[in-house]
């Protein structure tokens, strides 16, 4: 299991050396342009046409600072804290909500794995419901990270499966198979990103910096599991349905024109909790745990059950296994 990890130490080292230079340059640029922005805003404030309130001016300035910030992956801890403070403030001023955005890093010695019991899943879609609410998914576009496919017994073929079933389940003679992001160890989506806005964290979660993504959607074309979603329009989550417990790399507010994906509920799992889908599942079909811990439940399943992975021939090394009773 541990032979196919694709952490690229050479690339990371090179990135690290470039880091300081890049940060300095960007900071200089930021100060320069930021000053200009303040000046323009001051001018705009003086003009009689559209006087900005203090809050509007503050949000504009915050938005500008957000615009010139760097890639989260290369930020220092201080920069991370700053951007999070800005994002929390923007949420407060613009929407009147107190969100708490974590930047919790990966735990050492942890690599997440997931197993899905196709004998147990009954197609209730409780996981989907929990996922939507937990991850602040766009309600207007009805975005869903998880797909549950209804398949006829005897055939494991996604072409013939139906994910749009809406009848009493489980249906006679059918079984159910769920898909979501498989957090591949060899992720095709990561290497194609032209700006490095998506990467694999040390605990195996592939994340996106929504503010660094340019929205080219190459990763969506590259994913063999159709795990990525795009914000075609401004995502909408009613304030009273907003989950304030957020992570910078996870369920915080997304914007128009960027890609998002399942992160195994990074804001929960990095605190030792289960992903929302695994916890909400009423059938116990979902097993989640640390692949590096030989005494974990996921390792027990891999050792004691007959497992398979989807499209294993593509060498993506998903961290998501299917098993049967």
Partner 1 sequence: MHLWAFGLSALRSATTGGRRYHVWMGTLTLIMLVGAYAYSLQLRHGLGVTGLSDHVSWGLYISNFTFLVGLAAAAMMLVLPAYILHDVDFSRAVLMAEAVAVSALVMCLSFVVVDIGNPLGGWHLLPGIGYLNWPRSLLAWDVLVLNGYLAINLAIPFYILYSRYCGRAPDKRKYLPWMYLAVMWAVSIHLVTAFLLAGLPARPFWNTALLGPRFLASAFTAGPAFVILLLSFIKRETSYPIAEGAFTKLALITTVAAQINFVMLGSELFYKFYSPTLHGINARYLFFGVHGHHALVPWIWTAIGLGAAATLALMIHPIRRNPRYLAIACAALFVGIWVEKGIGLVVPGFVPSPLGELVEYTPSLVELGVTAGIWALGMFVLTVLVRVALPIELGQVRSPYLDDTPAAPIVRPRSSRVAARDTGPVRTR
Partner 2 sequence: MTGRSLRLGAAGLAAAFLALGCGQRGGAPARERDGGERVHNIPSSGAAIAHVDSEQAARNATREPGALETVTAGPVAPWKGPGGKPFEVALRTADPTTALARKFGTITLQTSARARAPDLGQYPCTSCHLGRKITLAEKRIPDAHQNIKPQHPRQTGGACKTCHAPDNVELLALQSGERATLDHTYRVCAQCHFAQANAWAGGGHGKRLDGWQGRRVLMGCADCHDPHKPALERRIPFRAPVLARPRADDP
Residues in contact with partner 2, shown as a per-residue x/- string from 13 to 52 under the rule CB under 8 A? ----------------------------------------
Q: What does the CA dihedral 161, 317, 146, 138 come to, rounded to 10 degrees? A: -130
Other CB atoms within 10 Å distance of the CB of residue 121: 25
Please calculate the CA angle 270-320-295 and round it to the nearest 5 degrees: 60
Cα–Cα distance measured from residue 315 to residue 311, given in angstroms and rounded to the nearest whole number: 8
| Residue 93 interacting with partner 2 (CB under 8 A) | no
Phi-psi region of 11 (alpha: psi -120 to 50; beta: other; left: phi over 0): alpha
Other CB atoms within 10 Å distance of the CB of residue 27: 15
| Residue 268 interacting with partner 2 (CB under 8 A) | yes
| Residue 272 interacting with partner 2 (CB under 8 A) | yes
| Residue 87 interacting with partner 2 (CB under 8 A) | no
Closer to partner 1 by CB, 29 or 81: give it.
29
Q: Using CB under 8 A, which residues numbered 231 to 260 contact partner 2?
A: 232-233, 240-245
| Residue 186 interacting with partner 2 (CB under 8 A) | no
From the list partner 2, partner 1, none, pick the one residue 60 interacts with, judged by a Cβ distance below 5 to 8 Å according to partner type. none
Residues in contact with partner 2, shown as a per-residue x/- string from 292 to 321 under the rule CB under 8 A? --xxxxxxxx--xx----------------
8 A C-beta contact, residue 204 and residue 111: yes
| Residue 325 interacting with partner 2 (CB under 8 A) | yes
Q: How far is the CB of 85 from partner 2 (least distance, A)?
A: 5
Q: Using CB under 8 A, which residues numbered 57 to 76 contact partner 2?
A: 76
For residue 7, what are the CA distances in angstroms to 2, 135, 206, 253? 11, 27, 12, 28
Q: How far is the CB of 171 from partner 1 (least distance, A)?
A: 18
């Amino acid at each position: 299991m541990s032979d196919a990890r694709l952490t690229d130490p050479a690339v990371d080292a090179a990135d690290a050396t470039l880091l300081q230079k890049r940060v300095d340059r960007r900071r200089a640029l930021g100060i320069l342009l930021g000053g200009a922005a303040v000046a323009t805003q001051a001018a705009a404030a003086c003009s009689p046409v559209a006087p900005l309130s203090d809050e509007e001016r503050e949000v504009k300035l915050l938005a500008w600072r957000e615009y010139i910030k760097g890639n989260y992956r290369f930020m220092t801890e201080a920069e991370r804290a700053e951007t999070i403070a800005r994002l929390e403030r923007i949420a407060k001023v613009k929407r009147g909500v107190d969100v708490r955005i974590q930047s919790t890093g990966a735990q050492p010695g942890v690599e997440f794995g997931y197993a899905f019991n196709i004998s147990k899943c009954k197609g209730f879609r409780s996981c989907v419901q929990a996922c939507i609410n937990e991850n602040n998914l766009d309600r207007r576009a009805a975005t869903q990270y998880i797909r549950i496919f209804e398949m006829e017994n005897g055939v494991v073929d996604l072409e013939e499966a139906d994910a749009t079933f809406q009848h009493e389940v489980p249906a006679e003679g059918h079984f159910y198979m769920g898909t979501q992001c498989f957090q591949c160890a060899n992720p095709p989506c990561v290497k194609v990103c032209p700006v490095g806005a998506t990467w694999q964290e040390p605990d195996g979660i592939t994340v996106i910096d929504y503010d660094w993504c340019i929205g080219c959607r190459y990763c969506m074309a590259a994913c063999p599991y159709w795990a990525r979603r795009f914000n075609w329009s401004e995502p909408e989550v009613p304030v009273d349905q907003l989950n304030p417990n957020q992570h910078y790399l996870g369920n915080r507010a997304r914007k128009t024109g960027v890609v998002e994906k399942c992160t195994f509920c990074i804001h929960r799992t990095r605190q030792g909790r289960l992903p929302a889908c695994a916890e909400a599942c009423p059938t116990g079909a979902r097993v989640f745990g640390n692949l590096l811990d030989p005494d974990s439940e996921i390792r027990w399943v891999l050792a004691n059950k007959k497992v398979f992975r989807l499209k294993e021939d593509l060498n993506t090394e998903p961290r998501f296994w299917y098993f049967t009773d």
